[in-house]
Amino acid sequence: MAQCPELCRIVLHFLALDTKNIRNSINSWLYPSLTFGTLLLLWWLASSRGYLSEQFFPTPGAFVTGFREEVASGSLLRDTLASLSRVAAGYALSVVVGVPLGMILGTVLGARLALLPLLNFLRSLSPLAWIPFAIFWIGIGHGAVIFLIVIAALPTIALSTMAAVAGIPKVYFRVAQDYDLTGVHRLTRVIFPAILPQLVTTLRVAMGLCWLVMVAGEMLAGNTGLGYLIHDANNGLRLDLIVVGMVVIGLLGMLCDRLLMFLTRLPGIRWGYDR
Amino acid sequence: MSTGSIRIKGLSHSYGATAVLKDIHLDVSPGEFVAIVGPSGSGKSTLLSLLSGYLKPTSGVLERTGTTRTVHQADGLYPWLTVEGNLALGLPKLDASARQRAVTDMVGRIGLAGFEKAFPHALSGGMRQRVEIGRALCGGTDVLMLDEPFSALDYLTRLKMRSELCRLLEDQPRTVILVTHDIEEATQLADRVLVLSERPASIVYELKIDVPRPRDVTAPGVVDATKAVLKAMGYKP
């Protein structure tokens, strides 16, 4: 019997935790749904009451019709897959090169002195300025868009990783010295885990950048993809299809961001968010 | 008993044109507990960084024998590793089962059984410092450097941590260098207290305390030693 209050306390504790978790889960869906629902309602009201001319923006009905048309023809799936594959390839390449490059820049003074001005130069330059060269060197299509994505994302990832390495507290390196973590061990067991939380933020920002550049790249240097869909719809004055392209890009961007956010739940990364 | 010892002859250190330490002479015998106190900014932490091997002295001779590990003021634990993971860092290369046994043993010694899988941010300041001390003691460390290890803790926790440190050192004797601004901490723990002068610092006073550990902070021998050190530092009530 003496254990009863303790048991009750534990049960209540777990119930309280569950309630909190359930509430958080509901809120994480409820609030965005309310925002999007309100926007949809305003769009529908503005269109149906004539405040928003169909010449300037499609009605929700036209959007649904255009969406069905694109799905039925299979072109939406084809364009989506083309864009996704380009973003995936460009992003992967940028991460694979950018993160180690940033770690080197953060730890090797000579590399930082040599490469930092170049990376800052590239970062300041709009990736769209490279479009003529992308077409000239690689030709219209897949390669040119991936090239533009890499040009945009790589300097950002490398510079952010470098900044994360520079921000590692000095005491971590002193501990590494005490416990003989040198060379590759220092890189993999101290520097890399120390920057992981910040790296996830960098990866999320870079992902957003990839989608931005992908659209512009496909508009001007692509022959398929969601950016090309928007460009083609613009030429055909199909405002409904432009919005279809925009909505799909936005949703995919959100989905990618949510997937990257899951990384923050990993124990080796969560410490950076829990503190 | 630890085999770690330290020998310093005519050590000086400067940051650019700013002289921090000047002509330091010190011999620390194996198993001895030496505390270094001094005014704020006198160069205590610089001296500890030199002794730990983080810095190289501008001039003079510094000889160390044995492995040296430091317990830092705060946040010296790797936040991405659990208590177990941090403790295991201190262990030499062992097979998995021997490693686990050693970690479990140390977790018990530092009184954190049940917290093996906890990450540092989930622990209190005192618990984190216990893990740091445990990590530094793992794997046969010879010289333990303590850089104001309890300064971020409240007074009662500090007293408790001092007792726990004494208990751990009784089990596993080590050569210890403690840098602290807390004179009472120095006199309660150390065999010998060294007082540094203002910058550029040199050792201006040395006091041997021949009172067995663990010591009560209010014991006459400790109180007298505290008064003597305070006097050497120019304190007048």
The model's pLDDT over B169-196, given as tens digits with 9 standing for 90+, comes to 888 889 999 999 999 999 999 999 999 9
CA distance B17 to chain A (A): 23
What residues make up the domain containing A198? 74-274
Helices (H), A179-238: 183-186, 192-221, 226-235
* End-to-end Cα, chain A, rounded Å: 39
Cβ burial of A228 (10 Å; 0-12, 13-18, 19+) is buried
Check residue A11 and give its pLDDT: 64
- Out of A104-108, B1-5, B197-201, pick the least confident: B1-5
CA distance B190 to chain A (A): 23
Among A175, A267, A269, the residue with its CB nearest the CB of B78 is: A175
Q: Is residue A105 part of a domain?
A: yes
Low-confidence ranges of chain A (pLDDT < 50): 1-3
Strands B59-65 vs B68-71: parallel, antiparallel or unpaired: unpaired
CB B206 within 8 A of CB B182: no
Residues from chain A that touch B52, judged by Cβ atoms under 8 A, are 174, 178
Task: Say if the Cβ atoms of A174 and B119 lie within 8 Å.
Answer: no
Average of per-residue pLDDT across B90-115: 87
Task: Say if the Cβ atoms of A171 and B76 lie within 8 Å.
Answer: yes
Collapsing DSSP states into helix, strand and coil, what is residue A13?
Answer: helix
CATH number at residue A203: 1.10.3720.10
Task: Say if the Cβ atoms of B80 and A178 lie within 8 Å.
Answer: no
Interface probe with A: pick from B78, B119, B135, most Cβ of A within 10 Å: B78
Cα four-point dihedral sign A241, A245, A246, A252: positive
Check residue A12 and give its pLDDT: 60
Among A177, A179, A271, the residue with its CB nearest the CB of B80 is: A271
> Which class does domain B1-67+142-165+175-237 fall in?
alpha beta
What Rg value do the Cα atoms of chain A yield, rounded? 24
Gap between the Cα atoms of B107 and B12, Å rounded: 40
Q: What residues contact B202, with CB distance under 8 A and at least 6 apart?
A: B21, B22, B23, B24, B196
Residue B156 predicted with pLDDT over 50: yes
pLDDT digits (tens, 9 = 90+) for A64-105: 999 999 999 999 999 999 999 999 999 999 999 999 999 999
Task: Say if the Cβ atoms of B79 and A171 lie within 8 Å.
Answer: no
Residues from chain B that touch A172, judged by Cβ atoms under 8 A, are 78
Among B70, B75, B121, the residue with its CB nearest the CB of A169 is: B75
pLDDT digits (tens, 9 = 90+) for B32-86: 999 999 998 889 999 999 999 999 999 999 999 999 999 998 789 999 999 999 9
Residue B76 at interface with chain A, using a CB cutoff of 8 Å: yes
Written as six digits, the tokens of A127 are 């990736």
Task: Say if the Cβ atoms of A271 and B79 lie within 8 Å.
Answer: yes
Among A174, A267, A274, the residue with its CB nearest the CB of B54 is: A174
Residue B151 predicted with pLDDT over 80: yes
Check residue A2 and give its pLDDT: 46
Tell me which DSSP letter residue B212 carries: P
Task: Say if the Cβ atoms of B80 and A194 lie within 8 Å.
Answer: yes
Check residue A8 and give its pLDDT: 66
CB B160 within 8 A of CB B153: no
Task: Say if the Cβ atoms of A178 and B69 lie within 8 Å.
Answer: yes
Check residue B119 and give its pLDDT: 93
Residue B140 predicted with pLDDT over 90: no
Task: Say if the Cβ atoms of A175 and B72 lie within 8 Å.
Answer: yes
pLDDT digits (tens, 9 = 90+) for B111-137: 899 999 999 999 998 899 999 999 998
Q: Is residue A46 part of a domain?
A: no
Residues of chain B above pLDDT 90, percent: 68
Number of H helices, E strands in chain B: 7, 9
State how far the alpha carbon of A50 is from the alpha carbons of A66, A198, B87, B138, in Å: 20, 47, 70, 76
State the complex-level ipTM: 0.90
Q: Is residue A31 part of a domain?
A: no
Among A179, A181, A268, the residue with its CB nearest the CB of B80 is: A268
- Dihedral, A213, A217, A222, A226 alpha carbons, nearest 10: 40
Cβ neighbours of B2 (radius 10 Å):
22
State how far the alpha carbon of B42 is from the alpha carbons of A154, B18, B53, B62, B201, in Å: 46, 12, 19, 19, 6
User: What is the total count of domains within chain A?
Assistant: 1
Residue B149 at interface with chain A, using a CB cutoff of 8 Å: no
Whose tokens are 């300097």? That residue is A155
E strand or H helix at A239: helix A239-262
Cβ neighbours of B25 (radius 10 Å):
13
CB B137 within 8 A of CB B144: yes
Residue B92 at interface with chain A, using a CB cutoff of 8 Å: no
Check residue B2 and give its pLDDT: 64
Residues from chain B that touch A272, judged by Cβ atoms under 8 A, are 79
Cα four-point dihedral sign A173, A179, A182, A188: negative
In A, minimum Cα distance to B121 occurs at A275
Interface probe with B: pick from A170, A171, A178, most Cβ of B within 10 Å: A178
In B, minimum Cα distance to A177 occurs at B54
State the helix-helix crossing angle for A142-166 and A192-221, rounded to 10 degrees: 150
